[in-house]
Structure 1
Amino acid sequence: MPFRFIVSSALLLLSSVCMAQGPAPAISYTRDIQPIFTEKCVACHACYDSACQLNLGSGEGAGRGASKIPVYDGERSQAQAPTRLFYDASGKAAWQRHGFFSVLDAQGSQAALMARMLELGHRTPLQPNAKLPSEIVLGLSRENMCPQPAEFDAYAGAHPKEGMPLAVTGLTEQQYQTLQRWLASGAPIDEQGLAPSARESLQVAQWENLLNAPGARESLVARWLYEHWFLAHVYFEGGEPGHFFQWVRSRTPSGQPIDLINTRRPNDDPGTQVYYRLWPVQGVIVHKTHITYPLSAAKMARVKTLFYSGDWQVSALPGYGPGRRANPFETFEAIPAKARYQFMLDNAEYFVRTFIRGPVCRGQIATDVIRDNFWALFQAPEHDLYITDPAYRGQATPLLAMPGQNDDVGSVLSLWLSYRDKRNEYEALRRDFYADSPAPSWSTLWAGNDNALLSIFRHFDSASVSKGLIGEVPQTMWLFDYPLLERTYYQLAVNFDVFGNVSHQAQTRLYFDLIRNGAEQNFLRLMPAGTREDFLDDWYQNSGKFKMWLDYESIDDDKRSALKLDPKDPKKDFAHQLLTRYGDLNAKPDPINRCDSAYCSRPNIDPALQDADQALSRLASRPAAGLKVIEQLPEATLLRVQAPSGKREFYSMLRNRAHSNVAFMLGESLRYQPGLDTLTIFPGILSSYPNFMFNVPTEQVPAFVQAMQAARDAAGFEKIVDRWGIRRSHPQFWQYFHDQTRYLQEVDPVEAGVMDMNRYENL
């Protein structure tokens, strides 16, 4: 019997039942449909990595439909047209001109594509908490078919177990019937855009007035601020919970409807007079793109103090174009460098998040060339020669241009070599100027607020950033100065085009490798002279030595450091002194991974959770050679622990993969050192992309730890999964999955958003 006949008959029967019982109440998209999408669909259908670009976080996204063209394609020779929701088109007809097709419209006698996909999933339920069939491919390796309505029958025949929601506990019967009724009625959408409150509107007007103030100096500062805020989910002091705003460029001034200027990049030529405007972030907030930034009266006063208190002037406003994009140090040269750097330091966590978590949704553009865990520190402005020495700044600025503006595929190698050589000329200049400067000391490090100490964790193709020093003392640390922080931000956030071609993306990755090396070299100046080459030999083993010879400038291993460090292990001693000296700035004390007494738990929490901390500390910071279960764990696992009191905690269990070096963007598996992998366990959620979840009552945590210690192979680990794991097929999967968001709403509501499950594994 044809599949479309089954669906049509089911809908006809449903309609008959509804008529027999009287007219059903009208279904509201806002009240009835979006909550279902938010609970069961948005975890896979949000951002650029939505399957088939079907974004179900808003009515606009649902109405836009799906596309066969993936956003992520590292091999395309030509850049593709951007398809940013709310930016590049509006309304179903406009999106269809971009190659999208409807999933909501019935096709003659056939039900809507979404109705058929949902029916396929509804009639093939999963075995509760069982491992999924091996023929269902999951994760980023899955090739999405994205069938159009006319192709659905062939898809269903070839993939009978791959209806929607894909390979996960599905809709409840009520949710299923509600969606089918809505689709059968023509899928009307009554969604209204989010509007600011009266208090928020006042603050919007104040900030727009600031950025749109007349004058050359004001215009240049506004342009620089916009380019540093365009990714932010802005929230206001005293604003409504869940209300966030984004900076955009408009053809229209404040008080008029926004007429969006939707260039590919935020620093492309707008082609007209620009007004900087704030518009509300629409749709469901998802954690992976939720990079928050506070605006307040105090922040406005800070901006005015930094940028408008001096007597600096602008003789002529810079234009736009590839050269201006490539070197923001020249473009914004008139703005005092100290103001620019201090502004970025004030909210350093935000800026590091922009290039670790965004704008790409998937982090592999950046993460191929970074370690799995490291700490980031910042050079104090008064010790940054780019800030304090005009002669040095004048020589350095022309050397700080970045690649990626020319995406000619045939010129990749020559472009890369040109920018590499220019970067190495800068590194040599930096090395020689700093050799003539006072030896670095503890005052070299910026310690202005709790953004001064950051931890980065890489989870293969994504990464996270957190305030504070988390985990064991890492193999490497980064030290950002202003030229390095600004170049990283522009290379990976402002200038990066997710829709760009292979040349653009390759140049971006290759230059980020140089940025990492520069951050490591900056840190090595703090280590004792004579030890720095030994550190490099450890960080760049095997093929890394060839890369050092080929692409990196040599370091200064002679100029002394003023830090008094233990010569036996100066890096570890540095970390311990850092934690002691800047303990008040360390937002995340970590007794679980760095237990230095008999008590390895946090103070002032539920005693049952203290016991859990203590037990879990036995798993943390041990190499896989002595804790075999690490080899079975994915990169980012969440452990949900609930106490008898009702209190519960989420712990992030992060597998830190060891590498002989991270100097190449290909062949990563060849550089793995699996016996050196370690496990970081930390209370809180340190990933937007959980790979798996365990649920363990506090009284069973010791048994869980013991089982983890005893597991020697996949069979031993599977027993742990069978007992405590929350598989995709678990009857309460969604309850546990969304409890992550509820947890964030309780402990850090500004940061809460729906998690992504595209990387949730079939363990």
Structure 2
Amino acid sequence: MSLSLICRHGGFTLACVWALALPIALSAAFAGEVSLESASEPSAASVQAPSSAVSIETPDYVNDVQPLFNRRCIACHGCLGSPCNVKLDSFPGVERGGFGLNPYSNHIGNYPRTDMDAADSVQAWRDKGFYPILADKGSAAENLDQSLLYLMVEAGMSHNGPGFARDALDDLRPDRFNAVCPSSAAALKAELNENPAIGMPFGLPALTQPQFKTLKDWVAVGAPGPSEAQKKAAGTIAEPEAIARWEAFFNQDDKRAQLVSRYIFEHVFLATILIDESAGDQFRLVRSKTPPGQPVEIIGTGLPYDDPYSDANVDRFWYRLEKLTAPPVQKNHFLWTLSLDQIDHLTKLFALDSGNGWGKEGELKPGWGSDNALKVFAAIPAESRYRFMLENSAVVVGGITYGPVCNGQIATYAVKDQFWVFFLDPKYDPSVQEPMLGLDSWDTLMDRSVFGNADYLNAFATTKEKLFPKGWSLDAVWDGDGEDRNAWLTVLRHETNVSVVKGAQGGMPRSLWLISFAGFERMYYDTVAGFAYWEGDALKLETLLFFNFLRQSFEDNFLTLLPPEDRKSIRHEWTQGIGTIGLAAVPFAGEAQPTQVEVSGDDPLMDLVAQLERRLGRAISGLPDRLNPQQKPKVELDASVTSFDDWETAISTLTAIEGLSFVPHLPSVIMLRLNHGDEHRVYSLIANRAYKSQYTLVFQNGQSMPKKDTMSVYSTLVNGFPNLFVDLDLKHASSFLVGLSSVETKDDWSAFKRRFGILRNSKDFWSFYDWINAWNFAQRGDLAGWLDLTYYDAPET
């Protein structure tokens, strides 16, 4: 729960919707469905100023309080940069409290780090400037009177009955700059007296009386945390022997193995790790002061390549698998799944058993502090490194798209709303075959300046021409060995957050990427491993600029598969407006080089994609896409819809088509539940917005091309930031589709949303939110996390 109305992320002001609420239990016997009747919602009569009486019963933190935080609070308070930095996904987060400086706001100099590894005790957080949000040393009345968390929720109980006025939602406008983070009860009371509508959950229905009583009773008795027994139980590993074997692999004495472990760590440090043999557990790979068999003591460096020895003042550290006990939040949740047989695979992949290809280019102990992975890990065979990235491309891209922030980064404005990603096969990749690309210095490979980037691109093109004088054939595109769906990814941008799915999904996109090994490393270290979120705006703007260069180079790589005469016109179609200035800054290196791919003259781009689909096969692409087909079925929208198949056929007539009047008015992400008797299915309706250029931030809306916007539909949850929930009975599906297709103006959309959407002041809001979260965990398992409400039913930019 927040003490703030607005937060700003990545140097670009963004609205944050803050919800603190306390939940209902999920249906105990969830077999794919959850009943809304299981949800207890506040009635208008029940939402009133609460009594000051305090029950003598003490809620248990693990069984009563944290589950409530999970289902209401972490929707906005489970990430870096959450409002006032209040993080409620664990008791340590609750204890550390709040902090008024948001590292993602506009600021010139550096701010303190706010990730949970930045301090190892409550006192250390206080030394950084964090203030408590709970009082625990007074009487019950004093604890309640001095607890910021309680005061905010109490205010919400007084003002947020179902159907409450939406006036306070004006504070959600992205152009608002205020950030209210009172650090004392007196200051908060003054703020609430002036602005009573900012109580929690802000702009959402109030808690029920039983939920509020649980919170109140807990705060009154001093907000006790988990017992030692509960902490021990939470940290118990299902299969410790499997974890021990993996930790042994990561901590070998061999210098080559140590360098490989470092390489893997730097590429997966943000991932949630599943070990097949330790079912039910989730882990992360960390560096620890303590060896396997002892409790983990994290070495919390700011960046993954910072020196762990000097940071922790130790002469040795160990890679450890730390069990995760905090609930996952969908916005930063992505998986790296392992099984014990992959230890042998990684040993062979990195040639640790043979040493083949090692030691010719670099050092086995290269030192610390450099973001130039191409130089630091040069001793590891380049093909081994690249194949690791290929086999785990969704994980590596996950680090880029699902960083542990609240609302993402302005760097996302450098990419289009929907695009497909392919990868060069190692045999055809100049940066694998000749890693230095003929350059005199490794530094040029990671030079993010305009001139350094141009030197890199020209060196890549020159090496390609030398190695492949006839150009690339279709064989140059990695085929995933016929079964690995990491070979074809769909990336989606939704405002300042991004998601990735495997396969060719959502219909034909506006652009396509072909990524090389060196380009993949440059992108990852620029946006993830080397991104110091706490630094000032100069770094963020540099990241945005470089990401534009990277995007352009990946698009250009793909275009070189086409005949030279078709490349330039498509390049200018993909980047228009003031983006032509950006095009001039990124040389189209290799523009005139030949290609071995023969394409049809009618639509060379579509023909190339069709050839790639045949080459990679359905196992990789996942095509055909029934919901977003290129050839549309002949169905009238007002025809009777009596089955889920009827619905999917009907809505597919509206997908992946430019020029539909309703699409520009859609929010980025609609999550829709379709009901047919006792059966329910969930769909995501995604708006793909088109812009003349991605080389702009200030004029983003001025560069929009609404007539080229499209909608894609997915038969699952996509993204963790819903903008709107829709609960639709099949019998009303035709009316929904006819009404949607008739939207032409902003007023039309508002009327449609009021008719079919669940607004944030609706009495049904929390019951549906609980249902969709329960469906997510039941149907998607380890892939699932709690959904975020930051952008829900709020103005987008």
| Counterpart residue number, 1:244 | 282
With over 3 angstroms needed to count, the CA separation of the structure-2 counterparts of 1:41 and 1:14, relative to structure 1, is same
| Counterpart residue number, 1:144 | 179
| Counterpart residue number, 1:648 | 680
With over 3 angstroms needed to count, the CA separation of the structure-2 counterparts of 1:653 and 1:40, relative to structure 1, is same
Deviates more, 1:339-348 or 1:425-434: 425-434
Distance 1:38 1:259 in 2: 26
1:107 deviates by: 8.8
1:720 deviates by: 1.9
Correspondent of 1:186 among 213, 222, 230: 222
Indicate yes or no: 2:191 matched with 1:160: no
Q: Kindly tell me the number of residue pairs found equivalent between the two proteins.
A: 723
1:226 deviates by: 1.1
Distance 1:757 1:12 in 2: 29
Distance 1:470 1:508 in 2: 28
SS at match of 2:707: helix
Note the 1:65-464 alignment, pairs <5 A.
65-73=97-105, 75-85=106-116, 87-105=117-135, 109=142, 110-128=145-163, 131=166, 133-137=168-172, 141=176, 143-148=178-183, 149-190=185-226, 192-193=230-231, 195=234, 197=236, 199-241=238-280, 243-270=281-308, 271=310, 272=314, 273-307=316-350, 308-312=352-356, 313-314=358-359, 316-322=363-369, 324-325=370-371, 327-389=372-434, 392=437, 397-403=442-448, 416-417=449-450, 419-430=452-463, 432-433=465-466, 436-448=469-481, 449-464=484-499
After superposition, the C-alpha distances for 1:60-104 in whole angstroms (9 at most, x for unaligned) are 11111111111212x32222221212x122343322111111111
| Counterpart residue number, 1:618 | 653
Correspondent of 1:579 among 600, 605, 613: 613
Normalised to the residue count of structure 2, the TM-score between the two structures is 0.86
> Contact between 2:450 and 2:586, CA under 8 Å: does it hold in 1?
no
After superposition, the C-alpha distances for 1:319-373 in whole angstroms (9 at most, x for unaligned) are 4345x32x21111111001111111111111111111221444333321110111
1:434 deviates by: 5.5
Distance 2:169 2:406 in 1: 27
Note the 1:670-689 alignment, pairs <5 A.
670-689=702-721
> Contact between 2:674 and 2:681, CA under 8 Å: does it hold in 1?
yes
> Contact between 1:140 and 1:759, CA under 8 Å: does it hold in 2?
no
SS at match of 1:42: helix
| Counterpart residue number, 1:496 | 531
1:309 deviates by: 3.5
After superposition, the C-alpha distances for 1:137-188 in whole angstroms (9 at most, x for unaligned) are 3669563301122201221122111101111112111010111111111111
Distance 1:630 1:130 in 2: 28
Distance 2:534 2:459 in 1: 30
| Counterpart residue number, 1:6 | none
| Counterpart residue number, 2:4 | none
Distance 1:588 1:697 in 2: 28
With over 3 angstroms needed to count, the CA separation of the structure-2 counterparts of 1:97 and 1:279, relative to structure 1, is same
Superposition RMSD in Å: 2.6
SS at match of 2:262: helix
Deviates more, 1:199-208 or 1:342-351: 199-208
Distance 2:404 2:479 in 1: 27
SS at match of 1:466: strand
SS at match of 1:650: strand
With over 3 angstroms needed to count, the CA separation of the structure-2 counterparts of 1:762 and 1:552, relative to structure 1, is closer
Correspondent of 1:742 among 769, 774, 796: 774
Unaligned runs of 5+ in 2: 1-47
1:589 deviates by: 4.3
Which amino acid is the alignment partner of residue 374 of structure 1?
Answer: F
Which amino acid is the alignment partner of residue 628 of structure 1?
Answer: S
SS at match of 1:123: helix
> Contact between 2:306 and 2:368, CA under 8 Å: does it hold in 1?
yes
Distance 2:101 2:417 in 1: 31
SS at match of 1:57: coil
> Contact between 2:458 and 2:589, CA under 8 Å: does it hold in 1?
no
SS at match of 1:55: coil
Distance 2:667 2:416 in 1: 16
Correspondent of 1:564 among 585, 598, 620: 598
Correspondent of 2:521 among 486, 495, 518: 486
Percent identity between matched residues is 27
After superposition, the C-alpha distances for 1:640-675 in whole angstroms (9 at most, x for unaligned) are 21122x222221111111111112344212211122
Which amino acid is the alignment partner of residue 303 of structure 1?
Answer: L
Which amino acid is the alignment partner of residue 81 of structure 1?
Answer: P
SS at match of 1:639: strand
Distance 1:288 1:61 in 2: 18
1:496 deviates by: 0.7
With over 3 angstroms needed to count, the CA separation of the structure-2 counterparts of 1:187 and 1:25, relative to structure 1, is same
1:388 deviates by: 2.8
Which amino acid is the alignment partner of residue 99 of structure 1?
Answer: G
1:316 deviates by: 4.4
Which amino acid is the alignment partner of residue 205 of structure 2?
Answer: T
With over 3 angstroms needed to count, the CA separation of the structure-2 counterparts of 1:198 and 1:80, relative to structure 1, is closer
Which amino acid is the alignment partner of residue 569 of structure 2?
Answer: D
Which amino acid is the alignment partner of residue 722 of structure 2?
Answer: P
Which amino acid is the alignment partner of residue 525 of structure 2?
Answer: Y
Which amino acid is the alignment partner of residue 445 of structure 1?
Answer: W
SS at match of 1:628: coil
Correspondent of 1:520 among 555, 561, 574: 555
Which amino acid is the alignment partner of residue 99 of structure 2?
Answer: S
> Contact between 1:399 and 1:425, CA under 8 Å: does it hold in 2?
no
Distance 2:398 2:486 in 1: 12
With over 3 angstroms needed to count, the CA separation of the structure-2 counterparts of 1:359 and 1:26, relative to structure 1, is closer
| Counterpart residue number, 2:787 | 755
| Counterpart residue number, 1:412 | none
Normalised to the residue count of structure 1, the TM-score between the two structures is 0.89
1:262 deviates by: 1.2
Which amino acid is the alignment partner of residue 410 of structure 2?
Answer: I
| Counterpart residue number, 1:14 | 53
> Contact between 2:739 and 2:752, CA under 8 Å: does it hold in 1?
yes
SS at match of 1:617: helix
With over 3 angstroms needed to count, the CA separation of the structure-2 counterparts of 1:134 and 1:205, relative to structure 1, is closer
With over 3 angstroms needed to count, the CA separation of the structure-2 counterparts of 1:132 and 1:573, relative to structure 1, is farther
Distance 2:379 2:595 in 1: 34
Which amino acid is the alignment partner of residue 518 of structure 1?
Answer: S
Distance 1:643 1:330 in 2: 58
> Contact between 1:106 and 1:113, CA under 8 Å: does it hold in 2?
no
With over 3 angstroms needed to count, the CA separation of the structure-2 counterparts of 1:259 and 1:584, relative to structure 1, is closer
With over 3 angstroms needed to count, the CA separation of the structure-2 counterparts of 1:495 and 1:600, relative to structure 1, is farther
SS at match of 1:496: coil
With over 3 angstroms needed to count, the CA separation of the structure-2 counterparts of 1:145 and 1:80, relative to structure 1, is same
> Contact between 1:635 and 1:691, CA under 8 Å: does it hold in 2?
yes
